[in-house]
Amino acid sequence: METASAGWAAAFLAGVAMYFQTAATREVDRRVVLAGLPPAQMVAARLLTGAALALFAAAVALVALAARTGFDDPARIVAGTVMFALIYLAIGAVIGTLVRNPVNGTIIVLFVWILDVFFGPAMSAADRWATRPFPTHFVTLWMVDLPSGHGGRLGDLGWALAWTIGAVALAWLVAIARTRRSRTRRAARPGGVHAQVLAASAAAWRDAGRNPALWVLFAVVPVVFIWTADAVTPNQPIALTISEAGEHLPAVYSMPEVHGATMAPIAIASLAALVGLFAMADARDGDRRAALAGMRTGALLTARLGVLAAAALAATAISLAATAVVFDAVRWPVYIGANILLALTYALVGALLAPVFGRVGGVFLAFLLPFLDIGISQSPMLRPEPAAAAQLLPGYGCSRVLLDGALTSSFNETRPLFYGLAWLAALAVLVAVAYRRAIAPVPGAIADFSAASRTGSRVSPSS
């Protein structure tokens, strides 16, 4: 840990110094660019100055370390400390480019640094999936000579260098993008598809963001479902059937392990269904009037589905974060992907509930349907494999894929995956049709004769 502390100190000093340098000079730099200096040159000069700061910070940290403990492997320690400093130089530059307020900027730099250090491999577990993407994960492990075991062909040093170079390159690009002369954007044509999608999306986002009931549910449901279930699950063996190498095999797991994997999707599906319900039920009257005023139904639907998808992803992220505390999937990417598919599927189910059952009945069903489907019909806690009838439900494909990701080391659920995708596509079509029926003005009900082109056409609405 003492070895890594030189990197931490260098990182902190370099990050904060670069943040202030970038934030303080941003407007002046833009003025120089407006005067004619190419933005790439301006940013390169700024980063080189920052690199000098980073090297100075690294030198100070190394001197302090040498004075206290001495060096076992000077080359590794010096290189590691410099990489720490350069990565945080980039982080400071990006935050300085994007965040103007110095209090906010400093807090963000500090927050990133605290997360990185305190949950990093030197102070926490060396091999937690969730902390592998942290900026100095590989640098720390290489610097303290503790092989990660998950560096792959690139190796820990390769990943550390990739992080360093990538971070500086990203900082360069972000800084150039913010420094260059702003191009005059072509304004969206008033009333055009683009303008209407933008206006409807802005309204939909504001509307969703001001729904406190939704945010309370987001905070409460994952905790209640996942943590409580984990707390009360007895540690006993449970038998279920898994697919491995194309074969269905019986396997025995501990009950908390399986329960951890299966509670997140129930929470996610319930939240997503509620989000879908609220998004459509609350907006129906307003959208209908906006459509009568001239808003395209497609623009309104695009906005609603955009908010719906983002909220479903947020529900997934929150639920999986709660799950990660009590459960570690064998293959997180597959597990996450299956949960996202499930979230989108049930968000669309919720959207369909709104016009049929209304808000009150819909809330009841938004909780009941995921529970019946995911919590009972697909649950490996109740039977080793879902019954034939359960395979007709929307959660079947997603459940099989997520169990595959949670418990096995290779992917063997291609058919259920396509099954889940087919449900998603079918539900998307149904939602679009139902929304159009509920919102769109009566087609052909009115003939609009412009003053320039009055004709003698007659329109009979539905006769």
Length in residues, the chain? 463
389 binds other proteins per the rule CB under 8 A: no
245 binds other proteins per the rule CB under 8 A: no
Size of the site for other proteins (CB under 8 A): 45
190 binds other proteins per the rule CB under 8 A: yes
Q: Give the torsion through C-alpha atoms of 99, 104, 107, 112, to 10 deg.
A: -30
Nearest to 57 by CA among 85, 93, 32: 85
CB of 463 to other proteins, least distance (A): 4
Give the bridge partners for 247, in sequence order.
244
CB of 199 to other proteins, least distance (A): 3
Question: What residue has token string 């259920």?
Answer: 416
185 binds other proteins per the rule CB under 8 A: no
Looking at the Cβ atoms of 74 and 444, the one nearer to other proteins is: 444
Assigned token pair, 158: 């390769």
Give the bridge partners for 251, in sequence order.
240
Contact 315, 275 (CB under 8 A): yes
Question: What residue has token string 């492997």?
Answer: 73
Assigned token pair, 156: 């820990």
For residues 264-283, which are near other proteins according to CB under 8 A? Answer: 282-283
Assigned token pair, 268: 């996610």
At position 275, the amino acid (one-letter code) is V
Task: Specify whether the backbone of 410 is left (phi greater than 0), alpha (psi in -120 to 50) or beta.
Answer: beta
Which of 1, 232, 293, 388 contacts other proteins by CB under 8 A?
A: 293
For residues 208-227, which are near other proteins according to CB under 8 A? Answer: 210-211
Nearest to 223 by CA among 326, 369, 347, 346: 326
Looking at the Cβ atoms of 46 and 284, the one nearer to other proteins is: 284
Q: One symbol per residue from 124 to 153: x for binding other proteins (CB under 8 A), - otherwise; what is it?
A: ------------------------------
CB of 221 to other proteins, least distance (A): 21
CA dist 157 to 136, 166, 423, Å?
11, 14, 44
CB of 434 to other proteins, least distance (A): 17
Which of 70, 234, 246, 461 contacts other proteins by CB under 8 A?
A: 461
Assigned token pair, 77: 């320690």
Contact 11, 21 (CB under 8 A): no
Which of 111, 215, 364, 449 contacts other proteins by CB under 8 A?
A: 449
For residues 98-117, which are near other proteins according to CB under 8 A? Answer: none
Nearest to 279 by CA among 304, 256, 259, 300: 304
CA dist 184 to 30, 35, 39, 181, 347, Å?
16, 17, 17, 9, 38
359 binds other proteins per the rule CB under 8 A: no
For residues 14-43, which are near other proteins according to CB under 8 A? Answer: none
463 binds other proteins per the rule CB under 8 A: yes
195 binds other proteins per the rule CB under 8 A: yes
Looking at the Cβ atoms of 196 and 412, the one nearer to other proteins is: 196
CB of 458 to other proteins, least distance (A): 5
**Interface residue list for other proteins (CB under 8 A):** 190-192, 195-196, 198-200, 202-203, 206-207, 210-211, 282-283, 285-286, 288-295, 441-442, 445-451, 454-463
